[in-house]
Structure 1
């Protein structure tokens, strides 16, 4: 969660790095709309969390309106303060995330993905997680670090670190060997 201006810039830098872009250019607003969405997301998070003054609240309301407009246009339902730095939205369209979920740093998420609430709560997803197109993740589960979730997988149970999962319901397909 962004709690200072320095963190805001750090999040922006990491998000850009996840898209292999070194410097923001105005044309990206139209050529890479999912990255523009991410910049608005981060700006809204900064104003909501850090700017409690009168002008900060007015700016937040304006930004929130723009953010929601772009969100509807791209088909992305991603609430504030869910994703850590290094978020990479590979393709826009039909990504739905519950606001009570939490996702660590360096997450790459594809279209037609759903991260939702189940009986036991919302998922907590670790760092360096790759979520393939069509994946469904729900329930009060914990997904470890360095996990790859296969296309159209339905994840409704805890997933350990350093594995790839797939299927309905998702099962471990392979394990990564740790290099010492």
Structure 2
């Protein structure tokens, strides 16, 4: 999928999350929120990292994202279409993390490796503010991770993970 297509799908999903009325003023407000620029810089960095000649540019985009938006997202991490950073400040995502479609991340989230092993996120995952997902864990589809939860074990599909360490409960 091309970078422009991914950015367009990210915008479409963010618009669905943020806006009810669809007015032009609301679209402008959405476009100028901090999470939107973080998404764009991430997509640019990720795209550039796939081409050896552009890899220095990828690191520049990553650095700009860190300074301008306060987040660090590894250039080799992968996120499917519909990736939304609601508030990017404090977000850290390891380079080897693989994320499916429609991932929504709040502020202060860390998705990191442990001993070189990184999490894999399914589709339609929401991660609340301050949550941590660490190590070789698999997060299923349609999962919600609560604010400040610390996930160190797999979370099956259709569950909500809460607590420290997080325990999964089936969604009703």
TM-score tier (shorter): 0.7 to 0.9
Match of 2:44 in 1: 43
Q: Quick check: which has more Rg, 1 or 2?
A: 1
**TM-score, normalised with respect to structure 2:** 0.82
Whether the 8 Å CA contact 1:95–1:112 is kept in 2: the answer is yes
Match of 1:3 in 2: none
Report the CA distance shift for 1:30/1:158 in structure 2 as closer, same or farther (over 3 A): closer
Is residue 80 of structure 1 aligned with residue 75 of structure 2?
yes
Deviations 1:116-156 (A, max 9, x none): 11247111111110000010110111110010000110100
Offset at residue 114 of structure 1 (A)? 0.7
Gaps of 5+ in 1: 1-5
For 1:120 and 1:68, how far apart are their aligned partners in 2?
22
Counting only pairs closer than 5 Å after superposition, residues 22-33 of structure 1 correspond to structure 2 as 31-33=32-34
Is residue 140 of structure 1 aligned with residue 170 of structure 2?
no
* CA RMSD between the two structures: 2.6
Match of 1:12 among 7, 27, 51: 7
Offset at residue 18 of structure 1 (A)? 1.9
**TM-score, normalised with respect to structure 1:** 0.78
Offset at residue 7 of structure 1 (A)? 2.4
Is residue 129 of structure 1 aligned with residue 125 of structure 2?
yes
Whether the 8 Å CA contact 1:29–1:36 is kept in 2: the answer is no
Offset at residue 105 of structure 1 (A)? 1.0
Secondary structure of 1:134's aligned partner? coil
Gaps of 5+ in 2: 17-21
After TM superposition, the structure 1 stretch with the greater mean CA deviation from structure 2, 99-108 or 72-81, is 72-81
Whether the 8 Å CA contact 2:49–2:58 is kept in 1: the answer is no
Offset at residue 64 of structure 1 (A)? 3.8
Secondary structure of 2:2's aligned partner? helix
